[in-house]
């Protein structure tokens, strides 16, 4: 009888930072006549495994051919789309992964990476299909299993390719995005801004923006916009003779009544009452 015994090294470093990286979703896509190839972004990274067919990955500045057994990683907020061949329709499995960032290109500046697998793709595909099965059946503890399978897939990708993977905490990413939106609001609050405009500015979805902005500043982007307008209206009411209609128009409110309603909600009194109190203080 012969026995082979292997002992794990307790000091070995896991190259995957599981405190940061999180699987958000996984789906299967198949080309059809309804396929809409429009440039778009996601607040998380996406990892594609092409299971069949061929086509192109398009970004703002390049169009790269992709085919069966290719693995494509697109970082968060990078505009991209997939274009399928009509003769060989694309099929792929795609995962949305928060906290993942792939560095590729000579200077590490590319927001996407493509690995053309000659060997080793079967192993990755096996774990991806296992992950799909876990999510579809929702076995007890499937969230933990899916997260573990994600780590296995990422480790295999790192072993079989030359790109560098970094892990970015969600709070750090959202801080930068929220700071961009906040600064823009402060400089453009008199303009007709919508939540869609602000989300497009930061290259994230409006739902992610609302969640991240609330977490960062304790208020929504639209409420922050309103507070900037109301703050400016305090000066205009106390230092000018502009009418409520003129002030509401200057500050981007849709109507004087909406301005008055917003003012009362934030200040506790009406704009005219505030103007009267400001005048009394000066006398």
Query: Are 86 and 185 within one domain?
Result: no
Number of folded domains in the chain? 2
Query: Are 157 and 176 within one domain?
Result: no
What pLDDT does residue 8 have? 74
* 152 Cβ contact list (under 8 Å, min separation 6): 127
* 278 Cβ contact list (under 8 Å, min separation 6): 237, 238
Query: Are 147 and 180 within one domain?
Result: no
80 forms beta bridges with 40, 59
Query: Are 148 and 220 within one domain?
Result: no
* 153 Cβ contact list (under 8 Å, min separation 6): 47, 95, 124, 127, 128, 131
Q: How far apart are CA 163 and CA 72, in angstroms?
A: 11
Q: Using the 3D structure, point to which of 167, 192, 219 is the last residue of a domain.
A: 167
Q: For residue 75, give both structure tokens.
A: 């970082």
Rounded to 5 degrees, what are φ and ψ at 168?
-115, 115
Query: Are 64 and 79 within one domain?
Result: yes
Q: How far apart are CA 138 and CA 187, in angstroms?
A: 48
- Could you say which residues of the chain have pLDDT below 70? 1, 11-13, 17, 103-110, 161-174, 283
Q: How far apart are CA 232 and CA 13, in angstroms?
A: 54
Query: Are 42 and 153 within one domain?
Result: yes
Query: Are 214 and 226 within one domain?
Result: yes
Q: Tell whether 47 is covered by a domain.
A: yes
Minimal CA–CA distance to 282: which of 251, 238, 242, 222? 238
Q: Tell whether 143 is covered by a domain.
A: yes
CATH code where residue 117 lies: 2.60.120.280
Query: Are 201 and 135 within one domain?
Result: no
Minimal CA–CA distance to 154: which of 18, 7, 246, 12? 18
Query: Are 131 and 54 within one domain?
Result: yes
Q: Tell whether 11 is covered by a domain.
A: no
Q: Is 33 in a helix, a strand, or coil? A: coil
Q: Using the 3D structure, point to which of 117, 148, 167 is the last residue of a domain.
A: 167
Query: Are 198 and 106 within one domain?
Result: no
Query: Are 250 and 187 within one domain?
Result: yes
What pLDDT does residue 171 have? 54
Q: Tell whether 17 is covered by a domain.
A: no
Between strands 100-103 and 164-167, the pairing is antiparallel
Q: How many helices (H) and strands (E) does the chain have?
A: 9, 10
Query: Are 79 and 130 within one domain?
Result: yes
Q: Tell whether 262 is covered by a domain.
A: yes
pTM for this prediction: 0.59
Q: How far apart are CA 229 and CA 239, in angstroms?
A: 15
Minimal CA–CA distance to 126: which of 102, 93, 104, 100? 93
Q: For residue 98, give both structure tokens.
A: 């928060």
- The residue segments making up the domain with residue 109 are 22-167
Q: Tell whether 183 is covered by a domain.
A: yes
Q: Using the 3D structure, point to which of 108, 137, 167 is the last residue of a domain.
A: 167
CATH code where residue 265 lies: 1.10.10.60
Minimal CA–CA distance to 256: which of 267, 266, 271? 271
Q: How far apart are CA 234 and CA 83, in angstroms?
A: 52
């Amino acid at each position: 009888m012969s026995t082979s015994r292997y002992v794990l090294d307790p000091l070995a470093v896991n190259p995957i930072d599981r405190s940061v990286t999180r699987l958000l979703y996984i789906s299967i896509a198949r080309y059809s006549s309804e396929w809409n190839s429009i440039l778009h972004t996601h607040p998380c990274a996406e990892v594609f495994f092409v299971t069949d067919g061929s086509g192109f990955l398009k970004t703002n500045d390049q169009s790269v051919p992709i085919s069966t057994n290719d693995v494509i990683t697109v970082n968060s907020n990078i505009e991209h789309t997939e274009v399928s061949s009509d003769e060989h329709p694309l099929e792929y499995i795609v995962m949305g992964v928060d906290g993942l960032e792939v560095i590729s290109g000579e200077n590490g500046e590319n927001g996407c990476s493509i690995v053309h697998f000659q060997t080793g793709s079967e192993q990755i595909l096996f774990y991806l299909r296992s992950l799909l099965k876990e999510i579809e059946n929702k076995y007890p503890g499937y969230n933990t299993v899916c997260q573990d399978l994600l780590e296995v897939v990422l480790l295999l990708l790192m072993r079989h390719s030359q790109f560098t993977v970094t892990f970015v905490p969600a709070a750090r990413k959202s801080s930068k995005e929220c700071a961009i939106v906040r600064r823009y609001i402060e400089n453009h609050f008199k303009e007709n801004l919508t939540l869609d405009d602000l989300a497009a500015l930061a290259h994230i979805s409006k739902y992610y923006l609302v969640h991240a902005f609330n977490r960062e500043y304790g208020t929504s982007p639209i409420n922050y916009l309103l507070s900037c307008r109301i703050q400016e209206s305090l000066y205009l009411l106390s230092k000018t003779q502009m009418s409520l209609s003129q002030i509401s128009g200057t500050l981007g409110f849709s109507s004087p009544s909406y301005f008055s309603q917003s003012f009362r909600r934030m200040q506790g009194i009406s704009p005219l009452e505030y103007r009267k109190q400001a005048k009394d203080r000066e006398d």
